[in-house]
Amino acid sequence: MDNNNRVRRRRKQQRRSMITNIVMCLITLSALTACIVLVLKNYDLKSQSEEAMAQLKSFEEESEHYIYTQADLDSYLEEARADAQEAGENEILSELKSRMDGGSNTAAVLRDFFPEDVVVYADGSYHFFPIDEKLKKHSYVYDNFKQLENGQIEYVDDTDVVLSKKGIDVSRFQESIDWKKVADDGVSYAFIRAGVRGSTEGRMMADERFEENMEGALDNDIQVGAYFFTQAITEEEAVEEAEFVLDLLEPYDVTYPVVYDLEEVTSKNARTEDLTKEQYTKNCIAFCETIKKAGYTPMIYGNLKTFLIMLDMSQLEEYHKWFAYYNTPVYFPYEFDVWQYSSKGSISGIKGDVDLNVCMTDFGDEQE
């Protein structure tokens, strides 16, 4: 009789030990699954683990004399793993569906799911760039970019004191501008297009309204900078572009930066079509250094593709950045001074759409 009791106790202890091992395996499995799912927005599978543990407890109570074989354990663990994985995937798919149904575009969803990367949609593909810890980051507080009722954006401190300046950028496409009305609308600076280089033949041309816009802005106490739409394919051409701009700027008091405007050109037979990232970067440096040697402040204008795909930012840390992005909040982790947040803005004195900018650096004050 004593032997039988000892055998029963031993078997009971073995079952309990086996149940404990299963529970621990399930907890470990759920934790590993959760780590994988965390890559996609830190989804938690705690409920699945707790449910599995509850099932085990119930199973133990109802199966007092069941003997667990290795095959039983392997089968149950595989079932639990599949259930946990399916639950995690379904939760992710549900979240994706909800976001897409709510109007979020694919890029916006991916950017939320991969916060450690900068996600760039370009050339029909999504590119993932791990955030480079070696590059300077901006220190802006996203919530401090306040959108006004008229759609314009200001950057404020925690007491709502405005820390930014309202600006525009214009070219011949805005036609004749009433600069007095622009000034009365609170615009404090304007980037005036100085010129462009043709995308196929490569001929440089001054903007048809450059002089008119420079004089109109300055006559109404609006500080000015200038930009040149580049299509340089060599460093020599980039220097040539810079010198072309410097000649145009000679008569004017320019207190804001002189900008290298680098954008993708998709027209047929574009002369920059086969340009490498290395060459784009060399051209950019050549332009900026020429501008700097002449006593002006160089700046680079671009969007996500410009800065992440076309240029090597590690070589451009010393230059100011003007970033174009038409959604809120601004999506760019690295240092920038000016944010072009709209291409469809409305300003008194300008017919039709105009680009709107918010600047967080006192360029004009630095020049005084």
What pLDDT sits at residue 93? 67
The amino acid occupying position 62 is E
| pLDDT value of position 365 | 66
User: What gap in Å lies between CA 120 and CA 301, rounded to an integer?
Assistant: 17
Q: Which amino acid is at 238?
A: A
pLDDT given for residue 61 in this prediction: 46
pLDDT truncated to tens, each residue of the chain (368 aa)?
455 445 444 544 444 444 344 434 444 444 434 444 443 444 344 444 455 455 545 544 444 444 545 666 567 667 766 776 777 677 766 776 676 677 667 888 889 888 999 999 998 889 999 999 999 999 999 999 999 999 999 999 999 999 999 999 999 999 999 999 999 999 999 999 999 999 999 999 999 999 999 999 999 999 999 999 999 999 999 999 999 999 999 999 999 999 999 999 988 889 999 999 999 999 999 999 999 999 999 999 999 999 999 999 999 999 999 999 999 999 999 999 999 999 999 999 999 999 999 999 999 765 44
Signed CA dihedral, 170, 258, 269, 128: sign only: negative
β partners of residue 259: 227, 299
What six digits make up the tokens of 10?
């031993």
Write down the pLDDT at residue 334: 98
- Looking up tokens 């700027």, which residue turns up? 249
Q: First CA to last CA across the chain, in angstroms? A: 103
Predicted structure pTM score: 0.76
Q: Which contacts (CB < 8 Å, 24+ apart) does range 322-329 have?
A: 322/191, 322/257, 322/259, 322/357, 327/108, 328/145, 328/147, 328/153, 329/142, 329/145
| Strand partners of residue 168 | 190, 356
Backbone angles phi, psi at 339, to 5 degrees: -115, 115
Q: List phi, psi (to 5°) of 110.
A: -65, -35
- pLDDT recorded at residue 228: 98
| Helices 70-101, 106-113: crossing angle, 10 deg rounding | 130
Element (H, E) at 10: helix 2-38
